[in-house]
C-alpha cells in the first residue's frame, strides 16, 4: 500500500504547519528540564522530514530517529533525509520503539495518518512505560467521523470494547465527536500506563502526566493531536517554571484548541502583519477582509507559514 506521502505534501498543509510551529514553541520551554540539544526526537519523517528540519534548526536537537514503515522505498527516504543527524529506522513503530534505548529524555511525536487503533495504543503505552521524566509524548490521529450506524462498530473493532468510554453512542461520534472520544481513549491509556509504572516507585518519585496539547484541525480530513509531559513529583517546580500554560494554544482539559486557517492572499497577510499584534481588532484597518478571518489570523499569525511560488530559470 502506498504511503500517504505519495498523495499529500505534508510540508504545505497550512494547519499542520501551524501546529508544528506551535509544538516547537512549547518544546522550547523544556529547557527547565535540561539542555534542549540533550533531548532525542522520535517521529515519522516521511519523505519531507518537515518536523525534523524545524526541530533541528530551532531546538538544535541532533539525536533524531525517524521511523518509516514503507520498507520498500528505503532508498527514497535516504535520499530525502535532510541532515546526517537523522537516523532512519525501517519497520512498523510497534517493532522499532522497543528496539530503541530509553535512557535519554525524549520528545516523541507519534504522527499517524489513520484512525486510532490498538496498535497506536500499544505505541502510546510503550512510550509512557519507558520515557524518562521530562519527556514529551504527542499523538496525532485521523478523527474524521465514519458513516452513521457504523461508527460504534468500527471503533470497537479498532480499539477493543474494553477501551470504550461508558455511555458512548453513534451521535457522540459525529462532527468532532470522534476526535473527542479518541482523546479520551488515548488519555486513559496514558493514565493507566503511568499508574502501573508508579507501582514500584516511592512517594516523591512517582510519575505524573500533564496534558498540554489538544489540537483539532482540518487540512481536508479532521485530525486530532493530543499529548503532554511526563515528569516525576520532585520535578513539579520545573514543570511550573516551564510556563506552558502561558501559551495561548496549550490545553490541559477536554476543551480543544481548534486551528482555523483563514483564506487570505499574500497581500492581505502582509497588510494585517503590519498592524499586529493589536489589543483591539476593531482598530485593524482591513475593510475588504471578513472580521472572522481577521480574528482567526490574529490568533495564529506568528505561526502562519509562508508559501511563495518562485520561478527558477
Confidence of residue 311 (pLDDT cuts 50, 70, 90): low
Q: What is the mean pLDDT of residues 216-224?
A: 94
What pLDDT does 76 receive?
95
What pLDDT does 312 receive?
55
N-term to C-term CA, the chain: 37
What pLDDT does 10 receive?
41
For residue 171, count other CB atoms closer than 10 A to its CB: 10
| Residue 80: exposure state from Cβ atoms within 10 A (0-12, 13-18, ≥19) | middle
- List CB contacts of 270: < 8 A, sequence separation 6 or more: none
What pLDDT does 297 receive?
96
What pLDDT does 287 receive?
86
Mean pLDDT of the chain: 93
Residue 288 vs residue 56, higher pLDDT: 56
Domains, the chain, ranges and CATH?
A: 4-258 (3.40.50.150), 266-303 (no CATH)
Digit-coded pLDDT (tens) for 244-265 = 999 999 999 999 999 999 999 9
CA distances from 116 to 137, 139, 145, 255 (A): 16, 10, 12, 19
DSSP SS3 for 188: helix
What pLDDT does 43 receive?
98
The C-alpha atoms of residue 239 and residue 275 are separated, in whole angstroms, by 34
Residue 5 has pLDDT above 90, yes or no: no
Residue 9 has pLDDT above 90, yes or no: no
What pLDDT does 305 receive?
85
Residue 7 has pLDDT above 70, yes or no: no
pLDDT > 90: what percent of the chain?
Answer: 89
174 — alpha (psi -120 to 50), left (phi > 0) or beta? beta
Amino acid at each position: 500500500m502506498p504511503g500517504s506521502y505519495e498523495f499529500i505534501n505534508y510540508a504545505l498543509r497550512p494547519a499542520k504547519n501551524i501546529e508544528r510551529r506551535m509544538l516547537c514553541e512549547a518544546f522550547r520551554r523544556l529547557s527547565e528540564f535540561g539542555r534542549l540539544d540533550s533531548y532525542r526526537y522520535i517521529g515519522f519523517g516521511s519523505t519531507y522530514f518537515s518536523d525534523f528540519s524545524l526541530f533541528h534548526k530551532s531546538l538544535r536537537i541532533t539525536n533524531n530517529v525517524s521511523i518509516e514503515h514503507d520498507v520498500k522505498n528505503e532508498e527514497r527516504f535516504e535520499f530525502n533525509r535532510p541532515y546526517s543527524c537523522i537516523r532512519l529506522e525501517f519497520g512498523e513503530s510497534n517493532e522499532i520503539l522497543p528496539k530503541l534505548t530509553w535512557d535519554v529524555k525524549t520528545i516523541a511525536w507519534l504522527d499517524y495518518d489513520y484512525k486510532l487503533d490498538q496498535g497506536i495504543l500499544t505505541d502510546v503505552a510503550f512510550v509512557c512505560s519507558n520515557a524518562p521524566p521530562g519527556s514529551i509524548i504527542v499523538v496525532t490521529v485521523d478523527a474524521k467521523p465514519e458513516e452513521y450506524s457504523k461508527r460504534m462498530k468500527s471503533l470497537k473493532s479498532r480499539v477493543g470494547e474494553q477501551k470504550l468510554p461508558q455511555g458512548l453512542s453513534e451521535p457522540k461520534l459525529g462532527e468532532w465527536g470522534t476526535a473527542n472520544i479518541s482523546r479520551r481513549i488515548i488519555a486513559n491509556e496514558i493514565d493507566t500506563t503511568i499508574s502501573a509504572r508508579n507501582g514500584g516507585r516511592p512517594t516523591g518519585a512517582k510519575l505524573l502526566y500533564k496534558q498540554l496539547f489538544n489540537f483539532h484541525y482540518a487540512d481536508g480530513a479532521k485530525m486530532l493531536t493530543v499529548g503532554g509531559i511526563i515528569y516525576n513529583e520532585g520535578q513539579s517546580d520545573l514543570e511550573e517554571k516551564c510556563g506552558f500554560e502561558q501559551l495561548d494554544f496549550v490545553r490541559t482539559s477536554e476543551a480543544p484548541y481548534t486551528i482555523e486557517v483563514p483564506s487570505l492572499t499574500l497581500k492581505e497577510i502582509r497588510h494585517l502583519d503590519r498592524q499586529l499584534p493589536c489589543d483591539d481588532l476593531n482598530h485593524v484597518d482591513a475593510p475588504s477582509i471578513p472580521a472572522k478571518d481577521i480574528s482567526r489570523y490574529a490568533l495564529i499569525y506568528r505561526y502562519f507559514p509562508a508559501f511563495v511560488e518562485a520561478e527558477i530559470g
